[in-house]
Amino acid sequence: MTETVVSSATKTVKIGFDRPFCVIGERINPTGRKKLAAEMAAGDFATVEADTLAQVAAGANMLDVNAGIPLADEPAILAKTIQLVQSLTDLPLSIDSSIVAALEAGLAVYQGRPLVNSVTGEDDRLEAVLPLIKKYDCAVVAISNDETGISEDPDVRFAVAKRIVERAADHGIKPCDIVVDPLVMPIGALGQAGNSAFRLIRRLREELRVNTTCGASNVSFGLPARHGLNAAFLCMAACAGMTSAIMNPLHAEEMTAVLGADVMLGKDKDCRRWLTKFREPTPEAAERGERRRRRA
């Protein structure tokens, strides 16, 4: 049974076929957030702090940290952001950058075993990122595109993922340390985006036996009532075998979908997490809580 082990200095999280769905909070990312980008570039991390605490409180299992700000010193800002976030939470982090020097700067300061986001199937990326994964003994998100771009054919994307897993093995990296992103396209533009993703997720799980993740909200890009579509997608992807997603834990519909999917797949033992979140207290329990609050 495949398990990807990530950790902070004090907390271990396992992404796995029989584990509850792993919610990777996406908020600490200045892409498309001009105000946050300006703040981070100016050394103001108040929003990063707030986003960290809010995502932890909302039930994220990991946090993605991205510092991609045009013309800024991304390696330095990413390293600083990671140190700050690790001082605020014990959740393991995903170190997110397309710049190898930034990944390396992040890895150098990270406490624990992070997930590196990401490597693609392009030769130069593989040769730049895989040695880092081996050197720091960590896990990596593998995006199933290569020099030829993103194929619409899920079987071509499967072949790219397979090649990444093989190349990683050449570097001494195990399949359990690779979390494949099937690249979910906007369904409003590509009507088969869902079917392609579900087919690919199934093949990745059954044939390559790797964990999977994706940027879930991409599927609803350009459509109204996005939370409803994201929720449907998350349940269906989980049913097809997806084991994590980079998503916004502050959205109740998506989080309910993920918790509901765990119940349905028998991953929430005795429905404990569902009951903790949704059970109305009995009148007696409510009164006990009230008395406790008054005494405090």
Q: Which parts of this chain interact with its own copies (CB under 8 A)?
A: 187-188, 191-192, 194-195, 198, 219, 223-225, 228-229, 231-233, 235-236, 238-240, 256-257, 259-261, 263-266, 269-271, 274-275, 277-280
Residue 238 C-beta: closest distance to its own copies, Å: 7
CB nearer to its own copies: give 143 or 255: 255
Q: Which residues contact 91 (CB under 8 A, 6 or more apart)?
A: 8, 11, 13, 56, 60, 61, 62, 63
Residue 157 C-beta: closest distance to its own copies, Å: 17
Cα separation of 65 and 82, whole Å? 7
Residue 205 C-beta: closest distance to its own copies, Å: 14
Cα separation of 25 and 244, whole Å? 11
Residue 102 C-beta: closest distance to its own copies, Å: 34
Is the separation of the CB atoms in 204 and 182 below 8 Å? yes
CB nearer to its own copies: give 70 or 266: 266
CB nearer to its own copies: give 85 or 193: 193
Nearest-CA neighbor of 50 among 151, 40, 41, 42? 40
The single-letter code of the amino acid at 284 is E
CB nearer to its own copies: give 127 or 153: 153
Residue 267 C-beta: closest distance to its own copies, Å: 9
CB nearer to its own copies: give 175 or 260: 260
Is the separation of the CB atoms in 105 and 76 below 8 Å? yes
**Bridge partner list, 7:** 12, 113
